[in-house]
Amino acid sequence: MHLSSFFCLLSSLSHAIELDFCVGDPSLPRGSEGYACKDSAKVTTDDFVYTGFRGEKTPNNVFGNNVTLAFSDVFPAFNGLGISMARLDFAVGGVIPVHSHRTSEVLLLVKGSIIAGFIDTNNTAYYKRLEVGDVMVFPQAMLHFQINIGKTPATAFVSLNGANPALQLTPTSLFAGNLPADVAQQITLLSHEEVTRMKRIFGTT
């Protein structure tokens, strides 16, 4: 190993263990590396416990799902640790539509039966029916999806290797934002009527 590389490695290791943790302070602006640390004198055990996954979750949108996010903005203990979580609840027939994150994701199915999959940059789809206890990985930035194909509601938990992995749903990106209808029509090859219908579904007309 070159001497310069060795010292770079030592420097990175020493930086990594300089703090035991960095519970984020969401009242301050978030930078490229996350939130500034909360005053350690004010950190309590409660800062390391997230209760947002408790209880029943009722699917509440056009997709028939309810997604409960535990990213660093709602669970600041994840700040700086490079991890986050979410709970996915599906009504019968519910879906998590095609979407992507800045990170990789691992899913654990705890109730029901779903089809889960992702599509790589060669347009090859990798998908499978999952049963309770099954785990599936979705590589970084790949478009992926989940569909409840069972006769009962389904629930899954996911973990992502970033404290703020973001969530970009393809349908809402195209039809729920400020993208003009004529542009959406051109880039999707949908008719004007179809684009108008999609924008109406997502509440932007």
pLDDT on residue 3: 52
| Distant-in-sequence contacts of 131-138, Cβ < 8 A, 24+ apart | 133/108, 133/109, 134/108, 134/109, 135/106, 135/107, 135/108, 135/109, 136/106, 136/107, 137/104, 137/105, 137/106, 137/107, 138/104, 138/105, 138/106, 138/107
Binding residue ranges for Mn(2+): 99, 101, 105, 144
pLDDT on residue 205: 40
What's this model's pTM, rounded to 2 decimal places? 0.87
Task: Please say whether the dihedral angle defined by the alpha carbons of residues 51, 55, 60 and 65, taken in this order, is positive or negative.
Answer: positive
Q: Which helix (DSSP H) or strand (DSSP E) does residue 130 occupy?
A: strand 125-130
Binding residue ranges: 99, 101, 105, 144
The CATH number of the structural domain formed by 50-166 is 2.60.120.10
Binding residue ranges for oxalate: 101, 105
Q: Report the alpha-carbon distance of residue 55 to residue 98 in Å, rounded.
A: 26
Tell me the Ramachandran region of residue 55: left when phi exceeds 0, alpha when psi lies from -120 to 50, beta otherwise. left
Along the 205 residues of the chain, how does pLDDT read in single tens digits? 555 554 444 444 444 557 899 999 999 998 888 999 999 999 999 999 999 999 999 998 999 999 999 999 999 999 999 999 999 999 999 999 999 999 999 999 999 999 999 999 999 999 999 999 999 999 999 999 999 999 999 999 999 999 999 999 999 999 999 999 999 999 999 999 999 999 998 875 4
Q: Side chain identity at 84, as an amino acid letter?
A: S
Q: Report the alpha-carbon distance of residue 89 to residue 64 in Å, rounded.
A: 9
pLDDT on residue 12: 47
Domain boundaries, the chain: 50-166, 167-204
**CA 164: distance to chain centroid?**
8
